[in-house]
Structures are given as C-alpha cells and as structure tokens.
A = this chain, B = another copy of it.
C-alpha cells in the first residue's frame, strides 16, 4: 500500500478493491460501509434539527450527532488500519523460511500480524454495531422525508458489522492457541451476531412504517 485509502479518489479505491492484490479487501470495504452509515446518520440529524420533528428530541438528536461524528472518524481510520494489518500478514507470510532461525522469526511475525488482522475487524464490528443503534434511533425520531437515508444508514451499518465479523472469523483459527484474543473475539462476535437479525428487522419495520 503506497497511499492512504481514504485519500484516494472513490473511483481509485473501487478499482484497487477489484485488483488481484488482496489488500485492500473486504475488511476495509466493511469499515468504509460503516463510515458511510455514520455519515448518513449525521445527515439525517442535520435535516431534523430546528424543524418541528425535532421538538422534544433535542437532547437525543445531540447525542446521536455526537456519536455519528465519533464513529465516522473511527471507521474511516479502521478502513486504513484494516488494509495495513492485512498487508502485514501478506508481508510476514513472504518472509524467508530457509533456516530454523528464519522459520522461527517468520512464525513470530505472522502470529503478530494475524493477531492485529483479527483485532482490527473486531473493532470495526463493534463500531458498526454502535452506528446501527444510532441509525435505529434517528430512523424513529428523524425527519420523515429523510427516513430512506436513515434506512440506508442502517443497512450500511449491518454490512459493516457482518462483513467485519466474517474477517474476524476467517483469521481467528490462525491466532496462536492460548492467546486470550481467541476466546474473547469469538465471544464478542457471537454476541454481536446473535442480535443483529432482530435489530435489522426492527429498523426495517420502522423505516417501512414511516415511508407510508
């Protein structure tokens, strides 16, 4: 990776996703989906404040806005970090394995890189889950003319969460046995995935109801 993903043009990023280089891959795309979800939550808040719909919801809207700003920034950062982490895995796997010493060095590097490439999408799944909460709240109280945008925000958050979870799951078996992260990450992903179906259905129902 010779350039920061978030400083590329949108067209270049999409073209880079499409190449045979595994970096950037699904982990970065999932984080960026979550960041776009947070941005749309923010837009719906902006289209709601100072309008009749905001009455009585001023504090909630302020909270949702603050959350959206924070998670948008975090998820843009995770878009980069995921690519860096996976690049480190690819580089470590290419280290020489001629001598016993080579192999030991390589094993240590691969293990450290895999650990990071598991920890980062775990953070993405957690952040996207928070964006899903915000999308649910703003879909319920936000400007009805922007309810489709709140719905798209929720869909993007779900994709960020589920997509990041797939990246945790594919790397987890390669995390060193005995590393606490193995059990912790599995437990957290299981917990996040256990509720996402119901949460997605709930927000879709609110959006469908308010679209009428």
Contact = CB atoms under 8 A, between A and B. Distances in A.
Nearest to A167: B148
Nearest to A210: B170
B9 A6 contact: yes
Given A43-B20, A146-B22, A14 B76 contact: yes
Copies of this protein chain in the complex: 2
Interface in A164-185: 166-167, 169-170
A129 interface: no
Contacts of A146: 22, 25
Given A20-B46, A39-B17, A152-B29, A211 B166 contact: yes
B35 A33 contact: no
A115 interface: no
Contacts of A19: 43, 46
A22 B10 contact: no
A101 interface: no
Interface string A79-105: 100000000000000000000000000
A147 B207 CA distance: 31
Interface string A13-47: 11101111110011101101101101110110011
A64 interface: no
Contacts of A145: 170
Contact of A155 (B17, B163, B170): B163
Contact of A40 (B10, B29, B46): B29
5 contacts: A7-B10, A10-B13, A10-B76, A11-B76, A14-B76
Interface of A: 5-11, 13-15, 17-22, 25-27, 29-30, 32-33, 35-36, 38-40, 42-43, 46-47, 68, 72, 76, 79, 145-149, 151-153, 155-156, 158-159, 162-163, 166-167, 169-170, 207, 211
